[in-house]
Structure 1
Amino acid sequence: MSAFAVQLINGCLSSDIEEENKNAFRELQHIGAVEERNGLWKLNSLYRAGRLYISNDGRGYVEAEFKEQKDLLIEPDHLGEAKNGDVVVAKRIIARRGRASGKVVAVIQKAHLFSIAYTHRDEEDRFSIIDLRTGEPTHAVMPGMDIKAFKVGTVMKVDIDTDEVLEVFGHLGDPKIDEKISLALYNRHDLFPPECIREALGIESEVTKSEHSERIDLTHLDFCTIDPVTAKDFDDAIYFDMENYTLYVAIADVSHYVPYFTHIDKEAKKRGFTTYLPHKSFPMLPRELSENICSLKPKVDRLAFVAKITLEKGSLKPLKEEFFEAIIHSRHRFNYDAVDDIISKGYQGNDQTIARILHWLMPLQKITQRLRKERLKHGFDFRSEEIKLTINENHELVSTQIETGTPSHSLIEECMLLANQAAAKRFSGDGDGIFRIHEPPQLSKIESLLTELAAIGLYVEEYEESPDLIRAIQKEAEKMGLSSEVDAMIIKSLRQASYSAHNVGHFGLGFGYYSHFTSPIRRYADLILHRLIKTQLRDDKEEAEYLLRNIDPLCVRVSELERETTKTEWDFRDRKFARWAEKQKGMFFEAEVIEAGESAKAVLKGEIQGVTVNLRGDNIMLFDKVRVMITEVNIAQAVIMAELVNKLEKEITEL
């Protein structure tokens, strides 16, 4: 469901409609599909908005929005120009057989505005243009140019309606094209519109304390930041008052610098998130903001939105949670490795500022260990491994590294979790805030998981509550030495976390109330939450009404943008793996099967980690240790094929 469709279903003011949807809105007004009721424009009861899915037999279905509705059938001759995945408005009609069906009257959001295609010649030298998303033949035209003259493997951006070539990206043989492809496939952008840059350059480059007398001055406190070595923007800084057991979580006050309806705000809303590729980030905000005035850099004054949380010394339960606008002055920038080193070996230096910070930071680290232990009584610790890629100046993959959580990561994580919970608890959860929700697993998914696990001899008793069942599975997996493998399967069986105006809690974390407050530089949801809390602090009912009137479609929008951002990052990773695998064709690797059946997959073992191959062979069982040979690689679609050579004896793999 698109954000615009949610607005039409829930009702909205015409002034709330985004610029890109105004033409569609006017068309819906013209045909009578929307009507004004109680001051809000809503869909007429005869009409349905939703995403269109077209089956193999050519019939379409508009997905139901509510449980009591059925998907609305759309016969092929009533589809109009709509394509699979488009969000449409359909008018309900009664079909000949008496079943309610519909006719598409408007496409309000296309699934794709353009396709990515490349030139190809098969073994018999027949020319074609292949859609990179689907692998199927497609069409493309370029006025004044014969596309057949292009070198085979030329990649193009093609208008989905006119088939006209909008841009030539380059050649599939060039690794530098991967970035362009991944960004284009999921509508991510690098450069900002000029008007955004102009606005950013017009914002102050330093904080003058005297100009912000209404803010609480915390510049006397020894705040610090802890981030990756490569970080360029610093969302959060922390300070802990040992005497009063009070944690200060200071977050970049982006909402102060990015007002509503500015060009920067509109662009941030379109992007939703910062996208991180191994060699470069593609920020949500212009770098003039994200890496400068909004970044909580050391040794300079910065505006911050602060969560002040006082803990009960015995139980570590929050006694008091406050939010306010402040000025801070971070004293030192730590990186994770340096803090881990200090935790394990102690501080060997003589910097007095660092020594002062460590006086509270090391006790806080012990406190966060206790917080984590308590949290895991209700939530989960899934052992998922992140693979970090290193690519060279030619954009070729040179190495991989498994990133695991360390004590310094955990220290910061627990502080951020406290702030995120405190922010969420300010709202009732009934459409009055923006929550990060994670619904409990579906029974059918859990049953499928248990069936898969039974095939490898992992059995557990039945439990009434799914958290107990998952913990029992993890316990058995640990006994079998399959903790990370089984955790990956559990994660796949769970629902995706998302954003919602209606709170249902966070299953994975075990929290009743949870939101995202701590990263407004890189997540638009956090920026909205900051704005909502500020309406409470200022008792600004008008601004709160505007935000909440549009909160449902906004949650839909940011949830969808989050998925697109993640897909971009995964797609780029898979393209680098495919280019590496192209050079390994005919080579043998040890691997572990992670999916069995018709679509068997295995993860290669070796110096380059995380490479997943599609596996062909007989009698392939889940978690088999095998030897495989890479046989085919499709660079365009980033697919690696391998053939099963033989299964490995357990003793061999343990040598």
Structure 2
Amino acid sequence: MSAFAVQLTNGCLPSDIEQEDKNTFQELQRIGALEEVDGLWRLSSLYRAGRLYIGKDGRGYVEAQFKEQKDLLVEPDHLGDAKHGDTVVVKRIIARRGRASGKVVMVITKAHLFTIAYTHRDEAGNFLILNIKTGEPTHAVMEGMDLKAFKLGTVMKVDVDDDKVLEVFGHLDDPRVDEKISLALFNREDAFPPQCIEEALQIESEVTKEEHPERVDLTHLDFCTIDPVTAKDFDDAIYFDIPSYTLYVAIADVSHYVPYFTEIDKEAKKRGFTTYLPHKSFPMLPRELSENICSLKPKVDRLAFVAKIALDKNSLKPVKEEFFEAIIHSKHRFNYEAVDKIIKTDGKEATGKVKEILHYLLPLYKITQRLRKARLKHGFDFRSEEIKLTLNEEQLLTQTQIETGTPSHSLIEECMLLANQASAKRFKGDGDSIFRIHEPPQLSKIEALLTELAAIGLYVEEYEDAPSLIRAIQKEAEKMGLSAEVDAMIIKSLRQASYSAHNVGHFGLGFSHYSHFTSPIRRYSDLILHRLIKTQLTNDEEEAEYLLRNIEPLCVRVSELEREATKAEWDFRDRKFARWAKTQIGMFFEAEVIEAGESTKAVLQGEIKGVTVNLRGDNIMLFDRIRVMITEVNIAQAVIMAELVNKLEKEEMDL
């Protein structure tokens, strides 16, 4: 359900409504669909808001919002102009045969405003406009232009309502068009509106201590940052005081620079997250902020929001957790590779300020190792591999690299986890904050996974609950040398992590309380959490009331935006893999089957990592080691087809 639909269902003030929803809100008031109760406007009992699903028989259903409700049937002649996936307001009516059903009175959020399509000619020579997402024929018109005049493979953005071409993106033969396609398919933005940039340029470019006398001055402490070598925005810095066993996690104080209702805030709320493609990032905040005044750069004063966590020296449990606004002065910028080398050599080659920082950083690394070991007694360590793509100037794939967690990653991760937990523990969890939740899996899903794994001889007989079953599966997979492969399957069977106003804990991490506090430069969820904690520190009840009145729709919004950002990243990766595979048609590759059955898939084993192919062939089993030949590539839909050549013995794969 959309954020606006949540507001209509829960009740809201007219002033809470986003600008783009105000006309719809007023129209719903005009037709009498809304009623005012205790000062809040909500849908009256005859109306319901929800996402519309249309079945193959043409009948629609509006999803139930509460356990006591049923999905509401909408007959084809009561759908109006609504399309599958739209969020609608329906009015309950009595349908034929006396069953309660609904009639769509308004579409409040369209599932799709536009289609990405391309020109194509089929084998029979027919000219077609194809939807790039589905491969199905669609329609497009362009004033004063015959689309047949375009070169075949021309990509365009088409309005879903009137089929008018809104923009021509380029051509499928040009690898640079991939970026435009992936961003557009998942509503990701590149350029910022001019008013955002204007606001950003008016913000101070340096921090002057004298202007912030109310802040805690921590500039004397040897904070440092640890990030990828290519990083331009530094969200977090750390310092550890050994005598008191106190960890300071300093986070960029974005909320100081981005007040409510500013153009920057509106745009950040719309984007939700920074999107990362291999060659470029598409930030949530203008670069004038994210890479400058908000970034905790080395050797300059910066405003920070600090989590100060004192640990028990024996148990490493937090004994005191504080949050406050501060000024810090990061003394050194490390990258992951440099810290890994320092840990490996115990810092023997370090000199100057780096050597001073290592007095706490190396002991802190040992502490974080203990923290991780304790955490994994309750949480899980899934061996997922990140594939990093390298593109050339033409935006073609030249190489891939598997990125695994290293000691430096682990050091920073454990520090951030402590701060994220501390931030969540400040709240009750009954709709009073924004939590990062991961619900426990349905046991039926894990048992279905067991059935699938039984086909390759992996059995688990004794287990008490979902966590013990997952651990038992992992143990058996390790014996068979299939840890990474089985972990990938386990992850697929789990629910997705999301944002919620109600705390149910984080199953994957094994935490009872968890929020996202540490990345406000690139996640809107963290920015909201900072604002909420600050209302506690200043006892600002009015601001807290505003935030919490809208917290549920906001959680819905950021959860959806997170999925869209991730899908855009995956779609772009798959397009680059497809372009590479096009140059490999007719070539043979060793591969491993990762899905068997109706849609058999395999991952190629070779210099280019992570390429998944759709497989044709008989008697293919899960995790079979095979030889395949790439036979066909659809660049528009980023689909790679391959044929089974033969199965391999394990020894052949290891050569």
TM range (shorter): over 0.9
Q: Deviations over 1:320-345 (max 9, x none)?
A: 00000000000000000000000001
Residue 206 (structure 2) aligns with: 206
Give 1:127 deviation, angstroms. Answer: 0.4
Residue 30 (structure 1) aligns with: 30
Give 1:413 deviation, angstroms. Answer: 0.1
The alignment of Structure 1 onto Structure 2 pairs a total of residues equal to: 655
What residue identity is the alignment partner of 1:493?
S
Give 1:33 deviation, angstroms. Answer: 1.1
Q: Deviations over 1:291-334 (max 9, x none)?
A: 00000000000000000000000000000000000000000000
Alignment of 1:567 with 2:576, yes or no, is no
Alignment of 1:403 with 2:403, yes or no, is yes
Give 1:651 deviation, angstroms. Answer: 2.3
Matches within 5 A, 1:474-513: 474-513=474-513
Give 1:645 deviation, angstroms. Answer: 1.0
Aligned partners of 2:360 and 2:255: how far apart in 1? 30
Residue 253 (structure 1) aligns with: 253
Residue 317 (structure 1) aligns with: 317
What residue identity is the alignment partner of 1:107?
V
Aligned partners of 1:255 and 1:53: how far apart in 2? 38
Residue 113 (structure 1) aligns with: 113
Q: Deviations over 1:43-97 (max 9, x none)?
A: 1111111111111111111111112211111111111000011000111111112
Q: Secondary structure at the match of 2:144?
A: coil
The answer (yes or no) to whether the contact 2:240–2:364 under 8 Å persists in 1 is: yes
Residue 541 (structure 2) aligns with: 541
Give 1:650 deviation, angstroms. Answer: 2.1
Q: Secondary structure at the match of 1:467?
A: helix
Give 1:347 deviation, angstroms. Answer: 2.6
Q: Secondary structure at the match of 2:98?
A: coil
Residue 155 (structure 1) aligns with: 155
Matches within 5 A, 1:67-466: 67-349=67-349, 351-466=351-466
Give 1:614 deviation, angstroms. Answer: 0.6
Aligned partners of 2:236 and 2:427: how far apart in 1? 22
What residue identity is the alignment partner of 1:335?
N
What residue identity is the alignment partner of 1:269?
K
Q: Deviations over 1:334-377 (max 9, x none)?
A: 00000000000133545311011000000000000000000000
Unaligned ranges ≥5, structure 2: none
Quote the sequence identity (%): 83
Residue 56 (structure 2) aligns with: 56
Alignment of 1:578 with 2:581, yes or no, is no
Aligned partners of 1:160 and 1:350: how far apart in 2? 61
Aligned partners of 2:100 and 2:608: how far apart in 1? 55
Residue 627 (structure 2) aligns with: 627
What residue identity is the alignment partner of 1:214?
E
What TM-score, normalized to structure 1? 0.99
What residue identity is the alignment partner of 1:249?
V
Unaligned ranges ≥5, structure 1: none
Aligned partners of 1:534 and 1:295: how far apart in 2? 20
* Stretch moving more, 145-154 or 89-98: 89-98
Q: Deviations over 1:537-573 (max 9, x none)?
A: 0000000000000000000000000000000000000
What residue identity is the alignment partner of 1:24?
T
Aligned partners of 1:53 and 1:445: how far apart in 2? 24
Aligned partners of 1:254 and 1:549: how far apart in 2? 22
Residue 639 (structure 2) aligns with: 639
Give 1:620 deviation, angstroms. Answer: 1.0
The answer (yes or no) to whether the contact 2:627–2:645 under 8 Å persists in 1 is: yes
Residue 3 (structure 1) aligns with: 3
- Give the 4+ runs in structure 1 shifted more than 4 A: none
What residue identity is the alignment partner of 2:425?
K
Aligned partners of 2:642 and 2:67: how far apart in 1? 43
What residue identity is the alignment partner of 1:408?
S
The answer (yes or no) to whether the contact 2:346–2:362 under 8 Å persists in 1 is: no
* Stretch moving more, 269-278 or 129-138: 129-138
What residue identity is the alignment partner of 1:4?
F
Q: Secondary structure at the match of 1:603?
A: strand
Residue 587 (structure 1) aligns with: 587
The answer (yes or no) to whether the contact 2:298–2:331 under 8 Å persists in 1 is: yes
Q: Secondary structure at the match of 1:447?
A: helix
Q: Secondary structure at the match of 1:97?
A: helix
Aligned partners of 2:351 and 2:192: how far apart in 1? 41
Q: Secondary structure at the match of 1:174?
A: coil
Give 1:455 deviation, angstroms. Answer: 1.0
